[in-house]
Structure 1
């Protein structure tokens, strides 16, 4: 009856003095953390780090936290500056150059989990929400030129009385141009059982609104909050009650026309409600308690708001509640990773992943959807979309959490068609941990057609797909892909498009101009987020992903990369004056480089100086151009992210000029032609000028020769100094 006792919580059933001492030595926070321990692999990455005290933003100690000061001894940018090692790019012809849109306002160079949204009233206006480990909450970035330049980070608040954010940001626009950002907010709740105190992490789904395009945010509201319930009965021995600890995870927000009034906006948030249920067991005549028979209940729920996020409906179950037992017997099933989307007529669709009863990270996995015809107040019977092999927690070739690749991304088309993208293990490739699959329905989610999208034909891992419709009904799909690296350690972003509702897809095309290695992105390569994001407008598509190129030559570093289909203006430099003598100063102006990042200047292949760009990716300074050969000299500027631009400086006077003219002068001296009077056909003035020019170059040659002799003599003296001093 008392099987499967919870580890690390109070005492073993023996009730020994040692066990009691261990019980009393734990803090209330440690006791609460132990109660949530079984959930950690099943939650999103950011939530798992929060409840296990690995997120240093929520921890009092930095020594054992991911990304804490103990892992950051030196800025990766400064390391790169020392040797001027940068990730030179291999651009693609089908997409713009890549930008890194995030920047560090602290010591921790980690941003991840990007969500992108476009303004329906202004297609040039884009907002991106991300996790930023320099900020206690998620942050936003704003572009007003289709991603060519970015401003931010801007910081929404988390709700009062909470202690910080867990992550999972999503951003959406309503039809009026207001933008909303949602995320997990972490709080705590205290309670006691048998006179022993507990402090357990709780979670809320926070939603904030911006009326100025994403640069400032209003008061955040809790759309839903997890619950804790303690039920006890008076017993001195045996089971004396139950403890239910809730935690909300993996939220997703969508907005669309209200079903009741299409002129108004409705906001929808789905999430997974995790409830850990334990029996409270009393021993030693009630003097000691422990917890037994842990069971996890998971349900996909939805809440909605009709007043801009100020008030929210009660949670509605979208999926059935499924049970996962930790005793080694019974069901081992969970549901997780929901999303929602609103069709043009106000119909709401929700999707999620089901691990089936063979357990998570193995066996079969299922993709499900459900439809609401009454504005999210109730849902029709769920429909099975697809069933294939379930991806592992991490691919067998990397360390990062990738199980969320199986969580279906959902989008709806202009005619109400609904589509999904997800990763499952293909049955025809046993060493492949995941391919990208697409499913679509044109009958309101009743039946589904399927297709594999990645065309690599290899067994390399694909992950984190994201899809979007454009206004004409074309489908745009992106994902992470290891196909280009024979070691399977670095990924690129790939893209494909369908113009016929998903029946056929364009040849897969590489988006990134430099690959990302997860081991270079985050300590131990453990976390690159749980998703990437894409949005499409008429004639263009915008993509964001986790990018590690700045960590390639230093400490781990993770930024958010951005690219679009349309080309953007390349970085450039302007040199003034464009020509002159060697050994002079010239002014260099740079435009379109990575903002607030180290850059390096080389002249004819030799690095001569470095600097740092401003917030707009510009710089303006003077450099000394050393003497080189006469003629055109390349001046190249490249920043630490790999952006590079070259201009030409024409050197009128260089070493070869001195040598040539000195040779001519010596030849003239030897022949005596310049000193014996005018040459035939010349006047005395020309002869005088020739004599003067010759004299100048003789003096220059003599100066150079004297300099060479002086340097040689100094070198000889320096070499003999140790021997002269007896060392």
Structure 2
């Protein structure tokens, strides 16, 4: 008996220690929240530069061992004849520059891209191919080249997670996806949620049915669909799967988000536990919203739900689950969040995201956590104004485990205009041949993904920096943009000392340029890259010195009269100044290897056919801090 009481006393002491440790950790984060904490956004980086065609639906992964390695993917209309397809996008310098690649099987068309990194640094790329089904690719050079894929079967909306614990399943790759069974008599098919597992770095997989659409604890969802919505491995190796159950055969007003947990590596799962009901008014109402968005009213947009878990052992909110979801009203929607501290057994009351710009609609969320326990949400905001036809990208962060959210910071440097010429580009999508007929579907980005896709990319790297990767339609065509997001204390002081010439510390980088035929103007979006080892601070300006060099003069080529249309100081020739200070982004500085946002130079030539006689010769001035 005394031994039993001593055992109880020991358990009580351990519980008290755990409580004190947790309280201390949360107290440290609360103190951090009490300080002047800022969300700072670095310049927007244009990722896709292949063609003026839509790029939609993105995913993003960060390498847990190397903060410089990022792997994204996007569904692109770049093959303008027939068949949209997925392309991986890799960065090896922390998101400042990107390289894309194309896998041979993409010629059959594909969609729903997902990316991840294995524990040894292997890059994973998963895509749903029209012909071959779900294909799993491996890369050992950071996503530049890819091995021959594995075909894992036909399914929808796959999710991927990696076991990074020190447990028995360390390194295991998990994938969940909704699978429609063949030979079904039902119009929408019989559906199951399937689980794939690999214990050899993705070289082979086994699979099993995780849940069936026939069996549901709640009657409205029996014989319905069940979508994979989030997948995470907790600090002890437990696997948490997010499941959204929905009704397929009739117009039903809501879906239901569940989580289910496996403690044995996916062999068995516990009961599905309800997280939240997703009320959208039914399929017919959702189609009304979709039609309004297709016609350019972005305030009628709605959102999928997203699950994330804090899986870092050092985090004060270790193993906390988060769900962000849309709440639709008559003419707009907002974003709410909930969290669970007991692996989905119970959930907090909803907490609203602090919207970026007052009235309007918040939609298209993505959620991620970092090693400090900070939770970030990336989302779109469509302001309610006279046009309703645009949106911006915002981010917010919670420092207290989802109990409250910081005021949102704007990520995108320009508004997106989705209902525009580029996104109306038509494409043959899916073709079939039979004795009865030849058939084909056609599609455009505006008709299928007017919001730029069903999801966007967001992740945190090993240093705690959040990375955003989103389809942006600032030019009227969805292109992929990236930005680094930092959560920091009070503003860092600028470099002291005089403003000086920094020509040898910078490089000019051009985004895709264009010609405005109606005005006869060339438009050059120009960035500045820091090629030095020091840091450059604002004010940062460039001044045009001239437009020809000694070789043009020596060749006696006739100079073409020109006019600079949009200099900051109004000068139309030599002396025209462009201010890059705001293009430094929220940090106000340019680190080694970093780029500014693009500043557009508008140049008019009296004879536009003689562009080869025009050059940029500039001086750049800023403050420089040597390493």
TM-score of Structure 1 vs Structure 2, range by shorter chain: 0.5 to 0.7
Q: Equivalent residue for 1:144? A: 92
User: What does 1:193-232 align with in structure 2 at a 5 Å threshold?
Assistant: 204-222=133-151, 224-226=152-154
The within-5 A match list for 1:123-272 is 123-134=67-78, 137-150=85-98, 152-158=99-105, 164-187=108-131, 204-222=133-151, 224-226=152-154, 248-257=155-164, 261-262=168-169, 264-272=170-178
**Where in structure 2 are the equivalents of 1:564-583 lying within 5 Å?**
564-566=484-486
| RMSD, aligned CA | 4.2
Q: How does 1:369-448 map to 2 (within 5 A)?
A: 369-390=259-280, 392-393=286-287, 394-395=289-290, 397-399=292-294, 405-415=303-313, 416-426=318-328, 429-432=329-332, 434-448=333-347
Pairwise CA distance, 1:297: 1.9
Shift of 1:518: 2.1
Bigger relative contact order (CA 8 A; separation at least 6): 2
Deviation at 1:599?
Answer: 8.4
Match of 1:503 among 403, 423, 430: 403
Residues 222-247 of structure 1: CA distance to partner in whole angstroms, max 9, x if unpaired? 2x214xxxxxxxxxxxxxxxxxxxxx
- 8 Å CA contact 1:635, 1:648 repeated in 2: no
1:156–1:630 distance in 2 versus 1, CA, 3 Å? closer
1:16-42 per-position Cα deviation (integer Å, ceiling 9, x unaligned): xxxxxxxxxxxxxxxxxxxxxxxxxxx
Structure 2 equivalent of residue 532 of structure 1: 456
Whole-Å separation in 1 of the counterparts to 2:150 and 2:312: 31
Unpaired stretches in structure 2, ≥5 consecutive residues? 1-37, 425-443, 488-500, 532-541, 549-558, 564-569, 584-596, 603-615, 620-627
Please point out which of 240, 244, 247 is paired with 1:353.
244
Q: Distance in 2 between matches of 1:93 and 1:260?
A: 35
The 2-side partners of 1:408 and 1:459 are apart by: 23
Partner of residue 418, structure 2: 518
Aligned residue for 1:398, secondary structure, equals helix
* Contact persistence 1:363–1:390 (CA under 8 A): yes
- Corresponding residue SS for 2:41: coil
SS in 1 for 2:189: strand
Q: Does 1:560 align with 2:506?
A: no
Give the deviation of 1:310 after TM superposition.
2.0
- How far does the alpha carbon of each residue in 1:538-583 deviate from its partner, in whole angstroms, 9 at most, with x for none? 34211011111122xxxxx21011111259xxxxxxxxxx9xxxxx
**Which protein is bigger by CA-based radius of gyration?**
1
Q: Is the 8 A contact 1:592 1:616 kept in 2?
A: yes
8 Å contact from structure 1 (residues 351, 410) kept in 2: no
TM normalised by structure 1 equals 0.56
8 Å CA contact 1:637–1:644 kept in 2: the answer is: no
Given candidates 441, 459, 472, the residue that maps to 2:372 is 472
Distance in 1 (CA, whole Å) between partners of 2:87 and 2:529 is 19
Work out which of the residue numbers 51, 54, 58 in structure 2 matches 1:114.
58
Are 1:273 and 2:179 counterparts?
yes
Task: State how many pairs are aligned.
Answer: 464
Structure 2 matches for 1:711-722, cutoff 5 A? none
Give the match for residue 338 of structure 1.
229
Q: In 2, are the aligned partners of 1:275 and 1:297 still within 8 Å (CA)?
A: yes
Question: Residue 469 of structure 2 aligns with which residue?
Answer: 544
Which secondary structure state, in structure 2, belongs to the residue aligned with residue 522 of structure 1?
helix
Q: Is the 8 A contact 2:310 2:370 kept in 1?
A: no
- Equivalent-residue separation in structure 2 for 1:630 and 1:299 (angstroms): 65
Distance 1:444 1:417 in 2: 7
For each residue in 1:642-696, what CA deviation from the matched residue of structure 2 results, as whole angstroms up to 9, or x when unmatched?
524799989xxxxxxxxxxxxxxxxxxxxxxxxxxxxxxxxxxxxxxxxxxxxxx
C-alpha offsets along residues 403-441 of structure 1, whole Å, 9 cap, x if unaligned?
982242333332442433333335xx4433x32122221
- C-alpha contact 1:397 1:488 (8 A) present in aligned 2: no
Secondary structure of 1:314's counterpart equals: strand
Distance, in Å, in 2 between the alignment partners of 1:146 and 1:337 is 29
CA distance in 1, matches of 2:61, 2:110: 21
| Partner in structure 2 of residue 48 of structure 1 | none
Q: Deviations over 1:268-323 (max 9, x none)?
A: 111111236555xxxxxxxxxxxxx6453222221111112222112222354369
- Is 1:597 the counterpart of 2:513? The answer is yes
Question: Which residue of structure 2 aligns with residue 78 of structure 1?
Answer: none
Query: Residues 258 and 299 of structure 1: is their aligned pair in 2 closer, same or farther, counting only changes over 3 Å?
Result: farther
Distance 1:629 1:381 in 2: 70
**Equivalent runs, 1:628-647 vs 2, <5 Å:** 633-636=575-578, 643-644=599-600
Shift of the 119–630 alpha-carbon distance from structure 1 to 2, 3 Å rule, reads closer
Look up the SS of the partner of 1:435 in the other structure. Answer: strand
Contact 1:110 1:559 in 2 (8 A): yes
1:109-162 C-alpha deviation (Å, 9 max, x unpaired): 121211111122221221211112235742222222221222x2112343xxx9
Structure 1 residues 301, 630: CA separation in 2 closer, same or farther (over 3 Å shift)? closer
